[in-house]
Every structure is written in structure tokens, then in C-alpha cells.
């Protein structure tokens, strides 16, 4: 029997024990987990139970005080202890020249941050370009603006920082979804741009698609019509606006977070 003792979930030790047990064909190893160990009294109980069950202890305690206490007690009781993480931690400290945080549960925190990012990215893809107005009610940020004002790149950039972003294109021929007027104003950001730069961007876009740059999509007349319509919608919503002319995505994203009251969520180190 193997007792797994951890100040977190114990998944690391369990994976190692199962991998080792698989090397002994025809033998099964019973595993008992003791997660979230935070005090010496619990350690006393575990060590006593291990002695009575003739079990070995596989531990992933990163708090030195608890780890040392368990070692001392196990030695006194004649219980075998296998420390799974400490040798690697010591080697890593020498490699990076920095002390370990000795803080339990960090792997799980990283996992949670990763899944939040994935969820935000999936959200941005699902509710890109006004595909489903229902997403506006669930979004942290809603971006509105005419075509080619960086709505999609901004949605993905903010999603990588775990913000759920939806965006809505503003086109004179299509009424904005009613949901746009139902969400708090501070969640909505209007994106504006100079007509000349939008004209240049759209002409380049048409070239990339193999189409003539003289199409109505890139004409200044059409652009002015769209920008005037977008301005009216933004005023009706009552949302703040950002002029994205000659601005990088990173700069615009920072302004968006300032206006919505969000905070930059940097990657876990």
C-alpha cells in the first residue's frame, strides 16, 4: 500500500506511483490519498496509519516545516518515505539561482489560468463579427465599429489575457442587435478611425483578395457613410470611443482596459 501525502491535490505523486506500479506485472498497488495537508496533527495521524498498514509514504509537500516534521516522525516509526518533488526542487534552485516559492497548489493555479484563457479564446471566436448577439450579455468587453477597425485582432489579443470579448460590426444596412443597448455602457467600446487610413486599409484588403480597389467597399463616400452611422450608434449606446488611427493593437487594448475598468492580466510566470 502507498499513502500519498500532499499539501495540494496529490495528482503529481499519484501519477508517479501509478507509473512505477505499472512496472510490476501481475501486482496491484493500493493507493490512499491524503490531500491538502496543512498541519502537524494530520501528519501524525497519517504516519501512524502508514505504520499500522505497513504502507510507504509518497509525498509532495513543498512547505519545508511540514516536510521535515513528516520525515522526523516517519523515521521514528520506521515508515519508508519517498519525497517526489524535493530533489527536483533542489536541482532547479541550483539551475536558476533562485529559491523555490515553497507554495502549494501552484500547478493547479496555472492549469486554471490556462483553461480560463482557452475559454476566453473560444468565446471570442464564437461571438466574433456579431455572429450571435446573445454573447453580448455574457461578455466582459464588447467592441463595436465599422469593418477593418481591428475588432477581431483586439478580441483575440484580450482573450489571450482571459477577457471574454464579443464584437459587433456596424453597417448602415443592418440594425445593431437589441442586446447592445441592454448591457452596461462601460462594457462597450466604440472603435473609430480616420477616413483616409480606413480607405488605405480597405484598398489593401481588396488587393489581397484579388479584387479591384475601386469597389464601393473602399470608396471614401461609402466609408464616410459607415463612419457617420457608427458614430450615431455609439452616441445612442453612450459608450466611450477610441480612435484606432495609427495605433498598435497592444496600445488600443491597454486603452480598452483603462476605459472598462479592467486590469491587465499578465501571463503566469
Q: Is the pLDDT assigned to residue 107 strictly greater than 60?
A: no
Whether residue 22 is annotated as binding a ligand: the answer is: no
Q: Is residue 268 part of a domain?
A: no
Of 52, 80, 104, the residue at which a domain comes to its end is: 104
pLDDT per residue as tens digits for the range 11-65: 888 889 998 988 887 778 899 999 888 899 999 999 999 999 999 999 988 888 8
Q: Is residue 232 part of a domain?
A: yes
Same domain, 196 and 90: no
Count the neighbouring beta carbons within 10 Å of the beta carbon of residue 221: 9
On the 0-12 / 13-18 / 19+ scale of CB atoms within 10 A, 105 is middle
Whether residue 149 is annotated as binding a ligand: the answer is: yes
Same domain, 127 and 230: yes
Into how many domains does the chain fold? 2
Q: Looking at residue 36, what is its pLDDT?
A: 87
Q: Is the pLDDT assigned to residue 100 strictly greater than 70?
A: no
Q: Is residue 100 part of a domain?
A: yes
Q: Is residue 85 part of a domain?
A: yes
Q: Is the pLDDT assigned to residue 102 strictly greater than 70?
A: no
Residue 210 has φ and ψ, to the nearest 5°, of: 80, 25
Same domain, 18 and 142: no
**What's 131's domain CATH number?**
3.40.50
Q: Is the pLDDT assigned to residue 169 strictly greater than 60?
A: yes
What integer is the mean pLDDT of 133-138?
Answer: 94
Buried b (16+ CB within 10 A) or exposed e, 63-79: eeebbebbbebbeeeeb
Buried b (16+ CB within 10 A) or exposed e, 181-210: eebeeebbbbbbbeeebbbebbbebbeeee
Whether residue 28 is annotated as binding a ligand: the answer is: no
Q: Looking at residue 129, what is its pLDDT?
A: 94
Using alpha carbons only, how large is the chain's radius of gyration in Å?
29
Of 63, 82, 104, the residue at which a domain comes to its end is: 104
Q: Average the pLDDT over each of 79-93, 95-109, 248-262 and give the range with the smallest value.
A: 95-109
Q: Is residue 109 part of a domain?
A: no
Same domain, 215 and 256: yes
Same domain, 89 and 208: no
Same domain, 84 and 121: no
Q: Is residue 70 part of a domain?
A: yes
Same domain, 126 and 182: yes
Of 61, 82, 104, the residue at which a domain comes to its end is: 104
What is the residue range of 127's domain? 114-260
Whether residue 151 is annotated as binding a ligand: the answer is: yes
Same domain, 79 and 179: no
Q: Is residue 98 part of a domain?
A: yes
Whether residue 152 is annotated as binding a ligand: the answer is: yes
User: What's the whole-number average pLDDT of the chain?
Assistant: 89
Q: Is the pLDDT assigned to residue 265 strictly greater than 50?
A: no
pLDDT category at 212 given cuts 50, 70, 90 is confident
Whether residue 6 is annotated as binding a ligand: the answer is: no
Q: Looking at residue 215, what is its pLDDT?
A: 83
Asked whether the beta carbons of 61 and 7 are under 8 A apart, the reply is yes
Amino acid at each position: 500500500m502507498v499513502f500519498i501525502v500532499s499539501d495540494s491535490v496529490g495528482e503529481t505523486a499519484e501519477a508517479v506511483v501509478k507509473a512505477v506500479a505499472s512496472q510490476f506485472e501481475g501486482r496491484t498497488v493500493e493507493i490512499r490519498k491524503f490531500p491538502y495537508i496543512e498541519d502537524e496533527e494530520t501528519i501524525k495521524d497519517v504516519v501512524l496509519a502508514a505504520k499500522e498498514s505497513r504502507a510507504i509514504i509518497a509525498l509532495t509537500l513543498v512547505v519545508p516545516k511540514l516536510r521535515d516534521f513528516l520525515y522526523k516522525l516517519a523515521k521514528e516509526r520506521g515508515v519508508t518515505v519517498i519525497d517526489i518533488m524535493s530533489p527536483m526542487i533542489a536541482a532547479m534552485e541550483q539551475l536558476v539561482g533562485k529559491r523555490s516559492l515553497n507554495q502549494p497548489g501552484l500547478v493547479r493555479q496555472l492549469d486554471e489560468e490556462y483553461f480560463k484563457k482557452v475559454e476566453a479564446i473560444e468565446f471570442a471566436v464564437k461571438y466574433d463579427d456579431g455572429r450571435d448577439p446573445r454573447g453580448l450579455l455574457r461578455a466582459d468587453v464588447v467592441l463595436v465599429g465599422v469593418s477593418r477597425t481591428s475588432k477581431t485582432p483586439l478580441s483575440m489579443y484580450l482573450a489571450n489575457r482571459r477577457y471574454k470579448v464579443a464584437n459587433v460590426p456596424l453597417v448602415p444596412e443592418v440594425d445593431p442587435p437589441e442586446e447592445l443597448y441592454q448591457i452596461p455602457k462601460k462594457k462597450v467600446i466604440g472603435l473609430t478611425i480616420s477616413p483616409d487610413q480606413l480607405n488605405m486599409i480597405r484598398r489593401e484588403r481588396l488587393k489581397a483578395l484579388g479584387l479591384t480597389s475601386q469597389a464601393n467597399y473602399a470608396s471614401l463616400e461609402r466609408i464616410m457613410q459607415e463612419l457617420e452611422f457608427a458614430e450615431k450608434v455609439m452616441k445612442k449606446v453612450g459608450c466611450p470611443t477610441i480612435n484606432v488611427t495609427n495605433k498598435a493593437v497592444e496600445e488600443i487594448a491597454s486603452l480598452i482596459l483603462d476605459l472598462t475598468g479592467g486590469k491587465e492580466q499578465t501571463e503566469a510566470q
